């Protein structure tokens, strides 16, 4: 067992630990990680997007936290802790109090002063920096914290995968010049690779949109899984990899049919999406479509709203973007939806944000059509409806490959293939957006006040727990990567109540393993072997050792790795060698 897995664990007996597994497959869970986390009793729902982590769940969460913290420390970042509640004034300095959108949970205290529950912490860290940092000699510096965040997600789902309250590692770096920022960006990019490798995840880094956070360069780290909410594009012949949204933005995939149809659409006549679909000969019920309602703001700048539609339901958030030429566009982040609607008076002014939010809430094509009509009535000129590439729901992954396979890669090398991913990390080169807005300066080597360049680097600590299960499970339950397992070894005793020898031998082994720094848990609950083994498999412990009367008589232990199909009998030395 590698040294990084060794700890000084306090002894842990399952009889004294609150393990609460369930045989039932929870009906409300759509994806395997959510099902297994509920079955294993790792989390319990309090309200939409709010979860209590049970003692078992917390052990796993702490393992992820530990890996993230150790690698961040090793990379030279320094940990601090910022509050979860943030004052409104700070968010007004950057304009994000209005712009951030519906994900921002706004709160008032007893004096009616405004606060929000932090969804991210650029404002707080920049405020910290402007009072703590005064000289270039203190730079570069990278501050991080592992802290609870709250985002009022439109559709919290999949358990902790898209929760409203969740645990994030967020880091923010400050630099006297862009070269230093670029170096730290690379350092964090490499560190993220080490973190996800150490956690035993199959992942890819892809180009990403900078979205609501802003900035110039950005990469997302995705755990590859068919249940992922993001579609990723990969080149067949190069390292090119991007979130599909961006792949389209940097090099639009030609869609002559859609562009042609768009020219034909005259929305005052074709008022509903069904009408437009009919015009284009598309069967709306067939599959998921991305639908973009295109239009122009008061100044004639092209704009559009996009929704993913399956049958007559909007299955993904409406997104909004500015259009810079037909077929070439940049999608806004979900967080920006009512940002744009609310903050740009020329655009949809009186219709939004209520109308747009209603479309999202109702999730129906009819509501979407109403929105189009409503927008028209308010003088918003709807130029057309653009039907994008088919996007599948998670269980239709084959579709996306069929539909999109073979489009040319934007870098000109090879063709695009597609996979689905779960975003577990995101690195941004922010530049001076926040230091400028908040007047954060330091003195450079010539004594001149300069605005530091910033980077920010997020990891979804709690989301990783679910993402890891998507990649590591079988019919019997979770199969933890070693670095995330709640314990490395389960020592199971057969018939302990009737057999003092068995309890004594199991107890001794369990103590010996823990003393050697190998995290072992003792299953002393006195369950029948079948039920005991089912639990140990369900909760995904990598190594299982069974201590029984028969084994003691033969001088052996029954050992089985979670991934092995058969158990084997090993004597003490062989067992310790295997576990050590
Ligand atoms: P997503 O695209 O999934 O909504 P995001 O791009 O909005 O994520 P970031 O602002 O990049 O998220 O935040 C950093 C990380 O926090 C993300 O990479 C993700 O792993 C995690 N995260 C974001 N939103 C949630 C959520 N609702 N539940 C759990 N983790 C989340
Ligand atoms: Mg988001
Ligand atoms: Mg994202
Ligand atoms: Mg992101």
Quote the CA–CA distance of 43 and 21 in Å, as a whole number: 11
Query: Above pLDDT 90, what percent of the chain?
Result: 57
Cβ neighbours of 395 (radius 10 Å): 11
Task: Indicate if ligand 1 lies below 6 Å from the C-beta of 438.
Answer: no
Structure tokens at 284: 């709306």
* Residue having the nearest C-alpha atom to atom 16 of ligand 1: 460
Going by alpha carbons, the residue nearest to atom 5 of ligand 1 is 423
The better pLDDT of the pair 318, 397 is held by 318
Distance 423 CA to ligand 1 centre (A): 7
Looking at the CA of residue 156, tell me the nearest atom of ligand 1: 27
C-beta separation of 249 from 233 below 8 A = no
Q: Report the separation in Å between the CA atom of 161 and the middle of ligand 3, taken as the mean of its atom positions.
A: 12
Over residues 368-381, mean pLDDT: 47
Report how far Cα 568 is from the mean position of its chain's Cα atoms: 39
Q: Lowest-confidence range among 187-191, 351-355, 430-434?
A: 351-355
Closest residue to atom 21 of ligand 1, CA basis: 460
Residue 291: name the closest of 278, 275, 304 by CA. Answer: 304
Checking if the pLDDT of 390 tops 50, the result is: no
Ligand 1: centre distance to CA 361 (Å): 21
Model confidence at 300: pLDDT above 80: no
Q: Among 53-62, 94-103, 140-149, 271-280, which stretch is predicted with the lowest mean pLDDT?
A: 271-280
Q: What is the mean pLDDT of residues 445-465?
A: 97
Q: Which ligand is nearest to the CA of 460?
A: 1
Max CA distance (Å), the chain: 87
**CB-ligand 1 contact for 463 (6 Å cutoff):** yes
| SS3 state of residue 418 | strand
376 versus 11: the higher-pLDDT residue is 11
Q: Is the pLDDT of residue 18 over 70?
A: yes
Mean pLDDT of 176-199: 96
Mean pLDDT to the nearest integer, 109-127: 98
- For ligand 1, atom 27, the nearest C-alpha belongs to 162
Query: Going edge to edge, which strands form the sheet with 557-561?
Result: 520-523, 489-493, 543-547, 557-561, 568-570
Across the range 526-541, mean pLDDT stands at 97
Ligand 3 centre distance from Cα of residue 259 (Å): 27
Q: Is 26 exposed, middle or buried (0-12, 13-18, 19+ CB in 10 A)?
A: middle
Residue 165 clears pLDDT 80, i.e. is over it: yes
User: Stretch 169-189: mean pLDDT, rounded?
Assistant: 96
341 with 348: CB under 8 angstroms?
yes
Query: 151 in ligand 1 pocket by Cβ < 6 Å?
Result: yes
- At residue 12, the pLDDT reads 84
pLDDT of residue 10: 64
Residue nearest to atom 23 of ligand 1 (CA): 460
pLDDT at 7: 61
- CA 428 to ligand 1: nearest atom: 11
- pLDDT exceeds cutoff 70 at 271: no
Q: Which residue has the higher pLDDT, 398 or 380?
A: 380
Would you give the distance in Å from CA 424 to the centre of its chain?
4
Look at residue 329 and tell me whether its pLDDT is greater than 50.
no
User: In the predicted model, is pLDDT for residue 323 greater than 80?
Assistant: no
Identify the pLDDT of residue 405: 54
Q: Is the pTM of this model over 0.95?
A: no
What is the rounded average pLDDT of the residues 351-368?
36
Q: What pLDDT sits at residue 418?
A: 77
Q: Is 165 in the pocket of ligand 1 (CB under 6 A)?
A: no
The model's confidence at residue 334, banded by pLDDT at 50, 70 and 90, is: very low
Please tell me the distance from the alpha carbon of residue 525 to that of residue 492, in angstroms, as a whole number: 9
β-bridge pairing 543-547 and 489-493: parallel
With H, G, I as helix, E, B as strand and everything else as coil, classify residue 455.
strand
Q: What does the pLDDT read at residue 11?
A: 63
Pocket lining: 149 vs ligand 1, CB cutoff 6 Å: no
What CA–CA distance (Å, rounded) separates 495 from 528? 8
CA of 162, nearest ligand number: 1
Ligand 3: centre distance to CA 191 (Å): 19
129 C-alpha vs ligand 4 centroid, how far in Å? 23
Radius of gyration (C-alpha) of the chain in whole angstroms: 27
At residue 285's C-alpha, the angle toward residues 224 and 153, to 5°, is 50
C-beta 222 within 6 A of ligand 1 = no
Residue identifier of the C-alpha nearest atom 26 of ligand 1: 162
Q: Evaluate the CA torsion angle 198, 204, 206, 210 in order and state its sign.
A: negative
- φ, ψ for residue 567 (rounded to 5)? -90, 160
Name which residue sits closest to atom 2 of ligand 1, judged by CA: 423
| Mean model confidence pLDDT for the chain | 77
Judge whether residue 518 has pLDDT over 90. yes
Q: Is the CB of 153 under 6 A from ligand 1?
A: yes
Enumerate residues 6+ apart whose C-beta is below 8 A from 214.
Answer: 428, 430, 433
Atom 31 of ligand 1 has which residue's CA nearest to it?
A: 460
Mean pLDDT of 409-436: 86
CA–CA separation, 34 vs 26, rounded Å? 9
More confident: 521 or 7: 521
* DSSP calls for 168-236: EEEEEEEESSHHHHHHHHHHHHHHHHHHHHHTT--EEEEE---GGG--SEEEEEEEE-TT-SEEEEEES
Q: How far is the CA of 460 from the centre of ligand 1 (A)?
A: 6
How many C-beta atoms lie closer than 10 Å to residue 412's C-beta? 11
pLDDT at 226: 87
Condensed to tens digits (0 to 9), the pLDDT of residues 28-86 reads 898 999 999 999 999 999 999 999 999 999 999 999 999 999 999 999 999 999 999 99
Q: Which helix (H) or strand (E) holds 306?
A: strand 302-310
Ligand 1 atom nearest to 335, measured from its CA: 7
pLDDT of residue 25: 85
Question: Does 552 have pLDDT greater than 60?
Answer: yes
Mutate to test the pocket of ligand 1, among 463, 464, 470 (most ligand atoms within 8 A of CB): 463
- pLDDT average, residue stretch 451-480: 97
What are 198-256's pLDDT values in tens digits? 999 999 998 875 444 444 578 899 999 988 888 787 888 888 887 765 543 333 333 33
**Residue 341 vs residue 238, higher pLDDT:** 238
Which of 115-124, 256-265, 270-279, 322-331 has the least mean pLDDT?
322-331
What does the pLDDT average to over 129-154?
96
Separation of CA 218 and ligand 4 centre (Å): 9
Is the separation of the CB atoms in 291 and 306 below 8 Å?
yes
Closest CA to 430 of 455, 459, 457, 458: 455
- Say yes or no: ipTM exceeds 0.90: yes
Please, which pLDDT band fits residue 496 given cuts at 50, 70 and 90?
A: confident
Q: What is the pLDDT of residue 209?
A: 54
* Pocket flag, ligand 1, residue 420 (CB < 6 Å): no
Give the C-alpha separation, 556 to 547, whole Å.
Answer: 8
């Amino acid at each position: 067992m590698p040294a990084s897995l060794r700890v000084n664990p306090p002894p842990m007996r399952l009889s004294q630990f609150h393990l609460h597994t369930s045989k039932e497959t929870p009906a409300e869970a759509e994806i395997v990680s959510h099902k297994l986390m509920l079955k294993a009793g790792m989390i319990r729902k309090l309200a939409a997007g709010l979860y209590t982590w049970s003692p078992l769940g917390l052990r796993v969460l702490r393992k992820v936290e530990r890996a993230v913290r150790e690698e961040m420390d090793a990379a030279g970042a320094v940990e601090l802790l910022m509050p979860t509640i943030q004052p409104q004034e700070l968010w007004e300095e950057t304009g994000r109090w209005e712009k951030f959108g519906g994900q921002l949970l706004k709160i008032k205290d007893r004096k009616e002063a405004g606060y929000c529950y932090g969804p991210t912490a650029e404002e707080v860290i920049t405020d910290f920096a402007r009072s703590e940092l005064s000289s270039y000699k203190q730079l570069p510096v990278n501050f991080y914290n592992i802290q609870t965040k709250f985002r009022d997600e439109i559709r919290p789902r999949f358990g902790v995968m898209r929760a409203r309250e969740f645990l994030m590692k967020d880091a923010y770096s400050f630099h006297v010049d862009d070269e230093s920022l670029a170096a730290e960006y690379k350092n964090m990019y490499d560190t993220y690779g080490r973190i996800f490798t150490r956690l035993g995840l199959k992942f890819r880094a892809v180009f990403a949109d900078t979205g609501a956070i802003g900035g110039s360069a950005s990469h997302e780290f995705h755990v590859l899984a068919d249940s992922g909410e993001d579609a990723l594009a990969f080149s067949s012949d190069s390292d090119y990899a991007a979130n599909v949204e961006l792949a389209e933005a940097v090099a639009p995939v030609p869609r002559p049919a859609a562009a042609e149809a768009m020219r034909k659409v005259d929305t005052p006549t074709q008022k509903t999406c069904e009408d437009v679909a009919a015009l284009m000969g598309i069967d709306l019920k067939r599959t998921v479509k991305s639908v973009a309602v295109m239009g122009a703001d008061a100044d004639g700048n092209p704009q559009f709203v996009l929704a993913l539609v399956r049958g007559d339901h909007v299955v993904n958030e409406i997104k909004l973007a500015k259009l810079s030429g037909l077929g070439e566009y940049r999608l806004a982040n979900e967080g920006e939806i009512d940002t744009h609607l609310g903050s740009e008076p020329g655009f949809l002014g009186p219709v939004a944000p209520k109308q747009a939010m209603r479309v999202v809430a109702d999730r129906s094509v009819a509501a979407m059509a109403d929105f189009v009509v409503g927008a028209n009535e308010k003088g918003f000129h709807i130029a057309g409806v653009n039907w994008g590439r088919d996007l599948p729901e998670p269980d239709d992954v084959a579709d996306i490959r069929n539909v999109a396979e073979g489009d040319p890669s934007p870098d000109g090398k090879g063709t695009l293939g597609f996979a689905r991913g779960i975003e577990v990390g995101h690195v941004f080169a922010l530049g001076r957006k926040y230091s400028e807005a908040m007047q954060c300066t330091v003195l450079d080597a010539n004594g001149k006040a300069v605005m530091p360049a910033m980077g920010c680097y997020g990891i979804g600590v709690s989301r990783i727990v679910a993402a890891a299960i998507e990649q590591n499970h079988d019919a019997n339950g979770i199969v933890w990567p070693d670095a995330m397992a709640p314990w490395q070894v389960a020592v199971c005793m057969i018939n302990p109540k009737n057999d003092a020898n068995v309890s004594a031998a199991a107890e001794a082994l369990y103590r010996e393993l823990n003393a050697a720094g190998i995290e072992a848990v003792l299953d002393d609950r006195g369950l029948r072997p079948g039920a005991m083994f089912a639990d140990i498999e369900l909760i995904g412990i990598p190594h299982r050792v069974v201590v029984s009367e028969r084994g003691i008589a033969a001088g052996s232990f029954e050992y089985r790795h979670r991934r092995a199909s058969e158990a084997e009998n090993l004597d003490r030395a062989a067992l310790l060698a295997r576990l050590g």
